[in-house]
């Protein structure tokens, strides 16, 4: 067939393991079955072929914000991350006025319906002022279930996740509401105790928003939320693996206790990802990016990241020394399952969308395919 593509000779990462000298057949925008060994194809010897990356927590990139940008801005941000291997993006909002967030949810739900994004994540306004990070404290509010429902309804079925400080008044009832509506309740920007976190998990919370960051540290007498989130098999922990948000020992601790099946690598990226240093706005707050690290101009708090998932992959496989299969789980399969998309993306299995990334032997990105079309065509030689 005219649209058939054969990728040959690479190390292909499948759910069953790594296949040396593997062959990936693409047909009609999907992963197809096998082809005879002598079928002509693109020779990717010395390279890796892995599933396209799935980012479930991303605020923007390419100079564009998902919270405040125009439709063209949002599409630019999505495309920026796509060129870095993220074939599935959930658009995250920072805290804003409720009416503003409702309007933005309506706008982004249209892009989700078109397939440009995979859904919407509300990171705020239902978070703790004690752990607000780069969120405007004047716009924070308790997670009243009626307000939470208002945002979910505004997203018209495209809300994928809401981050909550579940210890606040209404937090547990809001977790139950989200679970009933098939929306991920994520514990984050929280000042909760160990016991309060266990209560939220029992109520239906399933994700830890950027574990370690914007929550109390792990203590031997007051273990806080980190211990509860790591020990419970129902929780998937987000990790920002950019070398700034986490010490390598903290990442190792998370993988040791949660295992690769309960870790999701995210970017938590803001506008500067894939764009460069300078001054930016994160919601209503001004951010300065210097040496690729984003911090609030007032207060010096880390303000998201400038990370792209290809860099997170390389760091995990080289600096952190994780097995490639574990990195693929954390960066593709696990977030796809959480988002309810694993029937279509997250692995290189027949019938799924042909979303894939080509990496060289040093884990540098060399090619990106989305739905069977090259976004970044491999330049080999």
Of the candidates 381, 335, 334, 324, the residue with the CA atom closest to the CA atom of residue 357: 324
| 142 catalytic residue (yes or no) | no
Out of 268, 271, 320, 355, which one is annotated catalytic? 268
Q: Is 340 left (phi over 0), alpha (psi -120 to 50) or beta?
A: left
Active site residues: 268
């Amino acid at each position: 067939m005219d649209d058939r593509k054969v990728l040959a000779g690479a190390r292909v990462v499948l759910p069953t393991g790594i296949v040396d000298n593997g062959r990936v057949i693409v047909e009609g925008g999907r992963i197809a079955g096998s082809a005879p060994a002598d079928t002509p194809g693109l020779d990717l010897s010395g390279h890796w072929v892995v599933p396209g990356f799935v980012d479930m927590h991303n605020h923007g990139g390419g100079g564009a914000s998902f919270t405040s940008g125009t439709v063209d801005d949002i599409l630019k941000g999505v495309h920026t991350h796509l060129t870095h291997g993220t074939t599935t993006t959930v658009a995250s909002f920072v805290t804003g006025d409720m009416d503003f967030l409702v309007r933005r949810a309506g706008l982004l739900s249209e892009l989700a319906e078109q397939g440009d994004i995979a859904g919407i994540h509300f990171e705020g306004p239902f978070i703790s002022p004690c752990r607000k990070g780069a969120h405007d404290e004047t716009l924070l509010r308790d997670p009243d279930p009626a307000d939470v429902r208002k945002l979910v309804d505004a997203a018209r079925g495209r809300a994928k996740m809401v981050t909550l400080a579940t210890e606040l008044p209404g937090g547990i009832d809001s977790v139950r509401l989200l679970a009933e509506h098939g929306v991920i309740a994520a514990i984050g920007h929280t000042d909760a105790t160990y016991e309060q976190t266990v209560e939220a998990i029992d109520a239906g919370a399933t994700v830890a928003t950027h574990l370690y960051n914007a929550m109390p540290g792990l203590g031997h007498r007051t273990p806080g939320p980190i211990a509860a989130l790591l020990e419970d098999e129902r929780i998937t922990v987000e990790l920002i693996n950019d070398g700034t948000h986490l010490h390598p020992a903290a990442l190792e601790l998370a993988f040791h206790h949660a295992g690769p099946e309960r870790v999701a690598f995210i970017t938590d990226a803001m506008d500067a990802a894939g764009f460069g240093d300078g001054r930016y706005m994160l919601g209503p707050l001004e951010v300065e990016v210097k040496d690729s690290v984003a911090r609030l101009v007032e207060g010096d708090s880390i303000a998201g990241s400038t990370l792209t998932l290809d860099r997170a992959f390389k760091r995990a496989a080289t600096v952190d020394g994780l097995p490639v299969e574990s990195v693929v789980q954390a960066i593709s399969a696990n977030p796809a399952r959480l988002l309810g998309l694993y029937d279509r993306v997250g692995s290189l299995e027949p019938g799924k969308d042909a979303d894939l990334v080509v990496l060289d032997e040093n884990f540098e990105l060399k090619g990106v395919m989305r739905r069977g079309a090259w976004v970044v065509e491999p330049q080999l030689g």
